[in-house]
Amino acid sequence: MMWTQTTLEEACSALAAGRVSSVELLDELLARARHIDPLIHAIAEWDEDAARAQAVARDQERQRGQARGALHGVPLAHKDLFLRPGRAPQCGSNVRVPVASALAGVLQRLQAAGAVDLGSVQLSEFAYNPTGHNWARGHVRNPWNPEFVPGGSSSGSAASVAACINFASIGSDTAASIRVPAACCGVTGLKPTHGRVDASGCVPLSYSLDTLGPIARSARDCALMLDAIAGTRTFATADQLPRRLRVGVSTRYFVDGIDAEVERGLDDALSALRGLGAEIASVAPSGLAQANANASVIIMSEATSAHRAWMEPQASLYAPSVLERLEQGACFSAADYVGAQRYRAPALAQFCAEVFEHADVLVAPVIAVPVPRLDDVSAENDPAMNRIARDMTRLTRPINYLGLPALSLPVGRDSRGLPLAVQLIGRPCSEALLIQVGAALQRATDWHLMRPTLNPNGARPGAGAPSE
């Protein structure tokens, strides 16, 4: 059996039953990564020796009946923003980040659950780009077709999971950065409620919007990861779909100006939800354009604050477009920033009243357009980047502003064979319900079982058959 093709849940079960060891799982991942990663450039820094030592220790612990948790023995690699003692994350940049003295909080949680820390995966520079372009460290490529973007900023997380060189990965989402790459790469990504997951030891982009969460191959896999990093019990309730599920679909904003193929993906998801017995209700949330604009003010202002100490001495080491955005953040006044923050609470109350008084979850597209090509942006300073970035974050950024949880799910392929996706959006702290709906949708469909066919010999990747 090719363990790398399985879900995280299946790998955990196999480890628990003794059908595979942590060392064997690690060896298979490493062997596949050596052949596959040159096609997609997802790996940032993997410490194979340290991971092997951990895998040996996990196998010995299991033999003594001392399994730490549900993830015991599973090798995982995460977005290269997290601090590890004696090391500095690259953050997808040439800028030098100070060496850490402590382990990031989310990595501490994964360690306690028994996971093996394989290392880090690539991202857009300092998590400040939704496409996956990176002129400092090299572009991550979409496993479904390397001529297309993988989405960002958690590009390496999504690409490595889709390419089956990583079972799951922790990413960060400030405006889109878990959901968009999950959508582009045909995997599942969960942005939890803001503050649900400890973000200490993560190099920040925006202190009040950054949210950590998992990218994996299924909703149930995301539940396993969330339970480990947030202490929830979502996996235990993943099969408990409510009898009378009300699914909201927006009549405005989330459907305004979306591409016809994106609309088809949404329609297919709604058809599948109806097949599960869900009642579809039209809702009309307002104020989202203002929420989107306010989120941009907060992100740019806080990013500038976070980078102020590095910008002057290391300005030449930033990619010009990233440095330009950081400099633009200084143009907002204190009144601009405070005004954007003050609107968050009333905006959340208004959204919940307009949506969740009529629906239990809201279903919407993740991005308004089909997955862009890498060469749609011809150079680091191409003005097209701003237009593409707006198209890729317009439907996700307001959800960060409101602090709500959202689950990105694959719902098919477009005419070019690239993934289509929707996001399920819920009330604060409703991750368990989103997992329940997502898991039910994935039991009824096989979209999440599709794997890209990657050929190290140079043939162009394409859609593969559902995994066994």
Rounded to 5 degrees, φ, ψ at 379 are -155, 170
Task: For residue 467, say if its preceding peptide bond is cis, omega within 30 degrees of 0.
Answer: no
Give the pair of three-digit tokens for residue 309. Answer: 């100490």
Residue 200 appears among annotated catalytic residues:
no
The answer to whether 285 touches 316, Cβ cutoff 8 Å, is no
- 75 sits in which H/E element: strand 75-79
Q: Which position among 124, 155, 177, 301 bears the catalytic label?
A: 177
The answer to whether 117 touches 124, Cβ cutoff 8 Å, is no
- 78 sits in which H/E element: strand 75-79
Show the beta-strand stretches assigned E in 357-434.
Answer: 361-365, 406-413, 419-425
The Cα–Cα gap between 317 and 120 comes to 21
The Cα–Cα gap between 412 and 422 comes to 10
3-class DSSP state of 211: strand
Angle between helices 219-230 and 8-17 (to 10 degrees): 70
Q: Which position among 21, 79, 124, 408 bears the catalytic label?
A: 79
Q: Which position among 153, 160, 408, 430 bears the catalytic label?
A: 153
Q: Among residues 140, 162, 158, which one has the least CA distance to residue 149?
A: 140
The Cα–Cα gap between 193 and 344 comes to 14
Query: What percent of the residues of the chain are helix, what percent strand, and what percent coil, each to the nearest 5?
Result: 45, 15, 40
- 159 sits in which H/E element: helix 155-162
CA angle in degrees (0–180, nearest 5) for 61-62-67: 85
The answer to whether 418 touches 463, Cβ cutoff 8 Å, is no
The answer to whether 169 touches 121, Cβ cutoff 8 Å, is yes
Q: Which residues contact 107 (CB under 8 A, 6 or more apart)?
A: 78, 82, 84, 117, 201
Measured CA distances, 441 to 187, 257, 360 (Å): 14, 26, 15
The Cα–Cα gap between 408 and 316 comes to 36
CB atoms within 10 A of CB 315: 13
The answer to whether 279 touches 308, Cβ cutoff 8 Å, is no
Residue 177 appears among annotated catalytic residues:
yes
Eight-state DSSP code of residue 120? E
Write out the catalytic residue numbers. 79, 153, 177
